[in-house]
């Protein structure tokens, strides 16, 4: 009897192959081509919401120069609209909250894919409904390819891993219900368990050779500081705006809500049967006493189990990955100050008014925008309709990381940081947005209308 009891917790002596069944396998979303497809937003029996019956939504793939024809069909019981985060599209196709469609309606999007290759995503953007609808399962990847990316012969097929990160309740029965507390409406929703591609505590079996990991932070408020548990450096090749000018080797990567990172990881020198963990490292962030899952807590995100199989490492990366022309000579300067009081979140003292134009920017003009975080909360700042180039960061971490070079559509401001960017709306006139991508902050005021004239 005693012997049987003792053996329960240790069915392996550690020498056998690891048993990945303790965690659920990381699924990869199905693919949809942007040239002619529908996205049906609908509820599921579980209370979750889904695009085309799956969560995450299908991965939409397109090539630069193609034309997207996508129909949103709203079978939810609330208004919704899809925004293509990071895609440069005409104002009428951007999914601005004024374009939200009621239950039962549909919306046709038609736009050319004008921007370079990159890891983009799509999610709902109806006024004050974004947090709830993303939380319940609506979000997916939108990947654009082009010739410049093709030339790098990056890992593809089963060696291209998409990872949509969210933090949720540990209990799957409540993990997809949205019932924010007063604390959630101040800090943004923070929960203690990592989900990858909507699966709780996922695992992935990898062979030797090189993989491409395209990682999206689709959480509400959680900032991740990504690192591998064995301390291996990460090779960053891209971010929100596509490929970096040159690859960056770093030990960890900060990933704010809405940001993406594109990594190459090579498991050739990892011994078969080793388990690694993609983790979020701990960092200092103000928390209130008794907070269950504070910002800055260490988290295990994705288990990686090295199988015995080998694979190719592929060609060495060239010194220059991508051609990025620096913006220069700004013709105007603007400041955006981010403040939070309780559940009211403001930019320049204003809460969002869907009908008020807050900023007018001439098409094609380079401007210097200063984002100033006046709070002890992180604010990931996102702009629609263009990408920008990060120039400086002062206060807080006080540096611009190598992996923030190139083009970005979202930049993380940790407490009391100020970030300067150069920005130019080069493609389309019309109404766009600037907002904090903390979903509770976005839904509760921290958003302004930007009109490109």
SS3 of 179-234: the string is CCCHHHHHHCCCCCEEEECCEECEEEEECCCEEEEEEEECCCCCCEEEEECCCCCE
The option from ligand C2O, Cu ion, none interacting with 436 (CB < 5 to 8 A, set by class) reads: Cu ion
Q: Which residues bind Cu ion (CB under 5 A)?
A: 85, 379, 384, 436, 438, 441
Chain length of the chain: 453
With CB atoms as reference, the residue minimizing the distance to ligand C2O is 85
Min CB(121)–Cu ion separation in Å: 9
Task: Check residue 384 for interaction with ligand C2O (CB under 6 A).
Answer: yes
* Residue 159 binds ligand C2O (CB under 6 A): no
Distance between CA atoms of 11 and 7, rounded to whole angstroms?
6
Question: Closest approach of Cβ 329 to ligand C2O, in Å?
Answer: 28
Nearer to ligand C2O, 195 or 432 (CB): 432
| CA–CA gap between residue 265 and residue 235 (Å, rounded) | 7
125 touching ligand C2O, by CB under 6 A: yes
Residue 419 binds what, of Cu ion, ligand C2O, none (CB under 5 to 8 Å, by partner type)?
Answer: none
Contact, 299 vs 280, CB < 8 A?
yes
Q: How far is the CB of 435 from ligand C2O (least distance, A)?
A: 6
Between 124 and 330, name the residue whose CB sits nearer to ligand C2O: 124
As a whole number of angstroms, the distance between CA 286 and CA 377 comes to 8
Distance CA 84, CA 100 (A): 14
Nearest partner of 334 among 360, 369, 364, 366, judged by Cα? 369
Rounded distance between C-alpha atoms, residue 107 and residue 126, angstroms:
13
**Residue number with CB closer to ligand C2O (94 or 149):** 94
Q: Which is nearer to ligand C2O, 198 or 436 (CB)?
A: 436
The count of other CB atoms within 10 Å of the CB of residue 107 is 19
Task: Tell me which of ligand C2O, Cu ion, none is bound by residue 125, counting a contact when its beta carbon lies within the kind-specific cut-off of 5 to 8 angstroms.
Answer: ligand C2O
Select from 365, 281, 233, 305 the least CA-distant residue to 23: 305
CB 142 within 8 A of CB 87: yes
The residue within the footprint of ligand C2O, chosen from 58, 258, 330, 415 (CB under 6 A), is: 258
By CB under 6 A, is residue 123 in contact with ligand C2O? yes
83 binds ligand C2O (CB under 6 A): yes
Of 64 and 379, CB closest to Cu ion: 379
Determine the Cα–Cα distance for residues 29 and 121; give it in Å rounded to an integer.
13
CB of 356 to ligand C2O, least distance (A): 17
Of 431, 433, 436, 439, the one binding ligand C2O (CB under 6 A) is 433
Nearer to ligand C2O, 159 or 345 (CB): 345
Q: Specify the stretch interacting with ligand C2O by CB under 6 A; choose among 1-9, 47-55, 145-153, 432-440.
A: 432-440
d(CA 392, CA 415): 15
Residues that bind ligand C2O (CB under 6 A): 83, 85, 123, 125, 258, 382, 384, 433, 435, 437
């Amino acid at each position: 009897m005693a012997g049987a009891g003792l053996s329960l917790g240790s069915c392996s002596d550690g020498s056998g192959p690891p048993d990945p069944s303790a965690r659920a396998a990381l699924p990869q979303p199905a693919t949809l081509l942007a040239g002619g497809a529908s996205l049906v937003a609908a509820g599921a029996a579980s209370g979750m919401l889904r695009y085309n019956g799956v969560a995450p939504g299908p991965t939409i793939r397109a090539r630069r120069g193609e034309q997207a024809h996508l129909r949103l069909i709203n079978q939810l019981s609330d208004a919704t609209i899809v925004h293509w985060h990071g895609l440069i599209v005409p104002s009428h196709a951007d999914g601005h909250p004024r374009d939200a469609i009621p239950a039962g309606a549909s919306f046709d999007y038609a736009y050319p894919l004008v921007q370079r290759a990159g890891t983009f995503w799509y999610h709902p953007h109806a006024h004050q409904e974004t947090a709830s609808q993303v939380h319940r399962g609506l979000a997916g990847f939108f990947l654009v390819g082009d010739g410049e990316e093709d030339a790098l012969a990056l890992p593809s097929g089963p060696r291209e891993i998409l990872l949509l990160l969210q933090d949720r309740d540990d209990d799957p029965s409540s993990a997809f219900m949205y019932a924010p507390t007063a604390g959630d409406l101040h800090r943004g929703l923070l929960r203690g368990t990592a989900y990858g591609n909507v699966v709780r505590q996922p695992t992935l079996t990898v062979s030797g050779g090189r993989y491409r990991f395209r990682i999206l932070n689709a959480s509400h408020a959680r900032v991740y500081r990504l690192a591998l548990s064995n301390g291996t450096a990460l090779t960053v090749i891209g971010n929100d705006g596509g490929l970096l000018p040159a690859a960056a080797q770093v030990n960890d990567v900060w990933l704010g809500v809405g940001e993406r990172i594109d990594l190459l990881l090579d498991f050739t020198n990892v011994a078969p049967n080793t388990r690694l963990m993609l983790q979020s490292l701990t960092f200092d962030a103000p928390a209130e006493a008794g907070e269950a899952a504070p910002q800055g807590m260490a988290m295990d995100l994705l288990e990686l189990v090295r199988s015995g199989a080998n694979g190719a490492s592929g060609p060495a990366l060239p010194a220059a990955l991508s051609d990025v022309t620096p913006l220069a000579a700004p013709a105007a300067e603007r400041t955006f100050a981010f403040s939070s009081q309780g559940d009211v979140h403001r930019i320049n003292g204003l809460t969002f008014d869907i009908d008020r134009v807050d900023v007018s920017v001439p098409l094609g003009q380079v401007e210097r925008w200063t984002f100033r975080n006046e709070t002890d909360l992180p604010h990931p700042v996102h702009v629609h309709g263009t990408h920008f180039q990060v120039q400086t960061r002062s206060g807080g971490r006080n540096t611009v990381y190598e992996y923030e070079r190139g083009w970005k559509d979202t930049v993380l401001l940790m407490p009391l940081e100020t970030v300067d960017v150069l920005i130019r709306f080069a493609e389309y006139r019309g109404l766009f947005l600037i907002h904090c991508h903390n979903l509770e902050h976005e839904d509760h005021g921290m958003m302004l209308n930007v009109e490109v004239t």
